[in-house]
Amino acid sequence: MTTELLPAVPTDLTGPLAELAGELPGAVDPGFAAHEVTDRSRVDAPQGVLAVVRPADVAGVQTVLRWASRHRVPVVPRGAGTGLSGGAIGVAGGIVLSTERLDRVLEIAPADQVARVEPGVLGADLDAALAPLGLRYAPDPASWRTSSIGGNVATNAGGLRCAKYGVTRESVLALDVVLADGSLISTGHRSIKGVTGLDLVGLFTGSEGTLGVVVGITVRLRPRPVDEQTVATWFDSVDAAAEGLLALTAGAARPAVIELLDGPTLADIDAHSGTSLAQGGGALLLVQTDGHGARAEADEVEAALRGAGGRPRRLHGEDAEFHWELRRSGRGPLEDKLAVGEDVAVPLSRIGEFHREITRIGAVHGVSVRAVAHAGDGNFHPLLFADDVAGGAERLEAAADEVVATALRLGGTISGEHGIGTAKQRWLADELTPQVRALQAGIKAVFDPLGLLNPGKAL
Amino acid sequence: MTTELLPAVPTDLTGPLAELAGELPGAVDPGFAAHEVTDRSRVDAPQGVLAVVRPADVAGVQTVLRWASRHRVPVVPRGAGTGLSGGAIGVAGGIVLSTERLDRVLEIAPADQVARVEPGVLGADLDAALAPLGLRYAPDPASWRTSSIGGNVATNAGGLRCAKYGVTRESVLALDVVLADGSLISTGHRSIKGVTGLDLVGLFTGSEGTLGVVVGITVRLRPRPVDEQTVATWFDSVDAAAEGLLALTAGAARPAVIELLDGPTLADIDAHSGTSLAQGGGALLLVQTDGHGARAEADEVEAALRGAGGRPRRLHGEDAEFHWELRRSGRGPLEDKLAVGEDVAVPLSRIGEFHREITRIGAVHGVSVRAVAHAGDGNFHPLLFADDVAGGAERLEAAADEVVATALRLGGTISGEHGIGTAKQRWLADELTPQVRALQAGIKAVFDPLGLLNPGKAL
């Protein structure tokens, strides 16, 4: 946070921005760095962003939005900027509203199994507060150490554990939201259940900042499991691993996590982490069972995967944690490559076919492809990359188009958990009909009639 | 279904209804019985309903809604009529659109862990189709044998197992919906995950037929658990049982079901079922654990509840099933009493306090009160009843007002799982601010600009 170093009211501001700086001393920063108005997608940094505004509290967020409505200034809400779809990227003539200073855990109520947090709280910070109480907030995007819970709500983020515990939506009970006109509403309930009126909590979750700015989040907590067991199973190929997955899901086991890493991913991890995962085979399924039956469930997983031709191995303690960390962040940087990181989902039965298809697509377009998948959800993250040479970007784009079209053709979706942002806009019409998009635009207009909130994103 | 007996086109119809009967031979029934335009709430049967219309397929539903839009006729969608809030009750000058003939299980795809059903399929029918495959649709409202899945979607129905497996929303992946103008849209995805655009599936779920008529439902399936263990624990009082619940939830056990029955409920079941539950104590917690760790988890539950002063007993086989069935349907008819069956939710920590309060409220108003609760969710079903004498209805109503107000005061909600319908309209403004209600009305207008779908309900 750089605001401490700023003069309370920057002296070089004029017009509406000076007015806002006067209302919120220390919060308006026109001298931001480029990385503060982008995210982790490969979308280019925007030009013409007026300022990053970092209100310190809910009233400050309301002040910003009242000001924005008065002066018709677009507002891009932004959490920790770890998004991968360009949803938090600034727009010309607009401000980026950062929630980074709204970073308090407001309440942890173990007896109610709920916590209330401000949107800027990072997943890791909440987890640190919950661990001593034996509690857990289930959603665990791979970015959980660096992404904010407000951002997770904006994208309805998934993660590794959602095969068993669901995505962000399933852990959000209530939201406080500042609307485009600066008014503050509360929606949802502190009880675990509730069906009063239309489900606005669900509507805000995953809306990528287009309907309002979330300023308070009541989340459901769950007990930390008494035991976790990790089964690492190598297969000769992704096809064989996909068959293994079907053998597994045909049984009664219900693992918390089922991750698939293909051969090129294993080779990449080996190259950057000093491991030798690829020696084990052409694909790796990493499975975690948890709870009182973790051991028996892992036994069943091993038996199912062995029966399908896999070579399972039980991992323990630090060795298990090391492998999970490799999955989360063991891949190397792409350095001078052009790359597209995709996020699509397919029905569980189509995982093998989908991987065959993307391999074929890569070969056709002269693009390298490797993939990991939250296989229990059918959620694939193919990574496409090419040398930065003439025609590379075009080949990459053509391959990405085909990858996304393939997911749709197989009955899947163009975004499993990262959201649409700006990066996936060009495929939106392939999944949603004009009528469905018109309904979504109609809903947007109910909440934000001036169209100021994150314009051009998501919808 | 009585349509077989009707002439294809009733001869006594005139005007718009005759036109519809011509378009949908055998589907338009102006000679319906009163129970076909009401539900299981105690809301009075409506006057002036034009007809019950029972289209046989999706195209028929579209025909009905195109006709309704053309002639500005209100349409009340209706599943199996088991609702408890009056959401499916007909309105004067309108038709009731029954989905009972849309009763096909369209597809079961074990490898994808999904099924597609028409809205008129009963929960029990889907379960019968899934059981041989070792699969289960998790939501289990107590009415699961008689309620339709379309109706469950309309109310976002809960049930016993949602403490662990979530409510209906968490098992619905995609919906086909006929909008008020007769057009058909598909929303959602067949993959387990997906975040493309605003979450219309979540918005339709629980919207009580006010936004569209659901004609196709893609649900998520889960494996049937390998083991289930039942622990029945008697306590001296509901207060003691509430303390037991907190001791249980403070641990790592995560039961599938936690049901609370108070002393008067036990006495009522005994009177009608020949049991002697009330001899065990003033309150009963019925807990079910499931999965590979069911036994170990039940051991932990027993230890926690014994430590909190409870008297746990493990139930097996038919004995266990018998007790669960008593919970679902063992209570006696109220016969000549005036009664209100409530459905509110409170935070878990307030369960004991809430029960003390409703007991006090009953005493103040001279109204009998007994209650069961999905205690793992904080979802209470108090039953208030009084003799049908002068002033009885007024005392009942005053007591119900206080019960609902108490749930709100304790941080809860006016409807945990039954929906608002007509029966809970009078409390809606106590939970939702005028601004939130205006947003909901705005969304309603996007989907149903003529206001024809289930007017006067839910919102």
Average pLDDT over every residue of B170-191: 96
pLDDT digits (tens, 9 = 90+) for B333-388: 877 889 999 999 999 999 999 999 999 999 999 999 999 999 999 999 999 999 99
Shared domain for A183 and A76, answered yes or no, is no
Cβ within 8 Å of A, B 36-55: none
Confidence of residue B9 (pLDDT cuts 50, 70, 90): low
Kindly list the residues from chain A whose CB atom is less than 8 angstroms away from the CB atom of residue B195. Answer: 155-156, 158, 167, 206, 413, 415-420
Give the one of A113, A195, A206 whose C-beta lies nearest to B348's C-beta: A113
**CA atoms of A230 and A320, how far apart (whole Å):** 6
**CATH number assigned to the domain comprising residue A415:** 3.30.70.2740
- Measured in angstroms, the CA of B358 and the nearest CA of chain A are apart by 18
Q: Which of A78, A98, A118 is the last residue of a domain?
A: A98
Task: Kindly report which listed range (A293-302, A330-339, B169-178, B428-437) carries the lowest average pLDDT score.
Answer: A330-339
Q: Is there a single domain that holds both residue B113 and residue B210?
A: yes
Asked, for residue A396, whether it belongs to a domain, the answer is yes
Distance CA A343, CA A347 (A): 14
Please state whether beta strands B75-78 and B95-98 pair in parallel, antiparallel, or not at all (unpaired): parallel
Pairing of strands A114-117, A105-109: antiparallel
In a domain, A440, yes or no: no
Gap between the Cα atoms of A403 and A344, Å rounded: 9
pLDDT of residue A11: 57
Regarding whether A232 and A219 lie in a shared domain, the answer is no
Strands B28-29 and A222-223, bridge-based pairing:
unpaired
Q: Are A157 and A416 in contact (CB under 8 A)?
A: no
Task: Verify whether the Cβ–Cβ distance A349 to B114 is below 8 Å.
Answer: no
A219 shares its domain with A109: yes
Please state the ipTM of this predicted complex: 0.94
Count of C-beta atoms within a 10 Å radius of residue A90:
26
Are B296 and B372 contained in the same domain? no
Q: What is residue A5's predicted lDDT score, i.e. its pLDDT? A: 44
Q: Which of residues 142-181 of A touch B (CB under 8 A)?
A: 155-156, 158, 162-163, 166-167, 169-170
Taking CB atoms and an 8 Å cutoff, what residues of chain B touch A196? 413-415, 420, 428, 431-432
DSSP three-state, residue B335: coil
Q: Report how far Cα A294 is from the mean position of its chain's Cα atoms.
A: 27
**Which of B139-160 are b and which e, b meaning 16 or more Cβ less than 10 Å from the residue's Cβ?**
bbbbbbeebbbbbbbbbbbbbb
pLDDT in tens, B215-269: 999 999 999 999 999 999 999 999 999 999 999 999 999 999 999 999 999 999 9
Among B274, B297, B329, the domain-final residue is: B329
For residue range A264-295, list pLDDT tens digits in order: 999 999 999 999 999 999 999 999 999 999 99
Region A157-177: mean pLDDT is: 93
Question: CA–CA separation, B276 vs B284, rounded Å?
Answer: 12
Specify whether A56 is located in the same domain as A9: yes
pLDDT at residue A1 in the model: 37
Here the CATH number for the domain that contains residue A89 is 3.30.43.10
Q: Inspect the interface and report whether the beta carbons of A446 and B447 lie closer than 8 Å.
A: no
pLDDT at residue number A111 = 95
Tokens of B238: 């509901």
Instruction: Indicate the pLDDT class of residue A10, thresholds 50, 70 and 90.
Output: low
Q: How far is B361 from chain A (nearest CA, A)?
A: 22
pLDDT in tens, B385-443: 999 999 999 999 999 999 999 999 999 999 998 999 988 888 998 999 999 999 999 99
The closest CB to that of A193, out of B250, B378, B433, belongs to B378
A328 interface with B at CB cutoff 8 Å? no
- CB contact under 8 Å between A198 and B203, yes or no, is yes
pLDDT of residue B125: 96
Mutate to test the interface with B, among A258, A292, A342 (most CBs of B within 10 A): A292
Let me know whether B156 and B120 are in one domain: yes
CATH number at residue A215: 3.30.465.10
Contact status of B193 with chain A (Cβ, < 8 Å): yes
Say how far apart CA A458 and CA A207 lie, in whole Å: 7
Range(s) of the domain holding residue A137: 105-223
CB spacing of B112 vs A349 below 8 angstroms: yes
Res A197 pLDDT > 50: yes
Q: Is A457 contained in some domain? A: no
pLDDT band at A9 (very low <50, low <70, confident <90, very high): low
Decide if pLDDT at A224 tops 80.
Answer: yes
Average pLDDT of chain B? Answer: 94
Strands (E), A134-269: 135-136, 172-178, 184-188, 213-220, 222-223, 228-235, 257-262
Q: Are residues B151 and B167 in the same domain?
A: yes
B152 in the same domain as B110: yes
Whether residues A195 and B435 touch (CB distance < 8 A) is answered with no
Nearest CB neighbour to A197, from listed B202, B296, B420: B420
Q: Does B184 touch chain A (CB under 8 A)?
A: no
How much is the pLDDT for B2? 40
User: Is A451 inside a domain boundary?
Assistant: no
SS3 B94: coil
Which residues from B are below 8 Å from A223, CB to CB? 249, 251-254
Residues of chain B with Cβ-Cβ distance to A253 below 8 Å are: 223, 292
Condensed to tens digits (0 to 9), the pLDDT of residues A440-459 reads 999 999 999 999 999 999 88
Q: Which residue has the tokens 């934000």?
A: A448
Exposed e or buried b per residue across B236-261, where buried means at least 16 C-beta atoms within 10 angstroms of its C-beta: ebbbbbbbbbbbbbbbbbbbbbbbbb
Q: Residue A302 and residue A312: Cα distance in Å, rounded? A: 6
Position B209 scores a pLDDT of: 97
Number of domains in chain B: 3
Name the residue among A185, A203, A224 with its Cβ closest to that of B203: A203
Burial (CB < 10 A; 0-12, 13-18, 19+), residue A442, is: middle
The token duo for A64 is 């910003």
Tell me the per-residue pLDDT of A385-436, one tens digit each, with 9 for 90 and over: 999 999 999 999 999 999 999 999 999 999 998 999 988 888 998 999 999 9
Please state, in angstroms and rounded to a whole number, the distance separating the CA atoms of residues B184 and B197.
18
Judgement on whether residues A140 and A168 belong to the same structural domain of the protein: yes
Same domain, B204 and B263: no
> Domain boundary at A329, A350, A380, which?
A329
Place of tokens 């005392």: B395
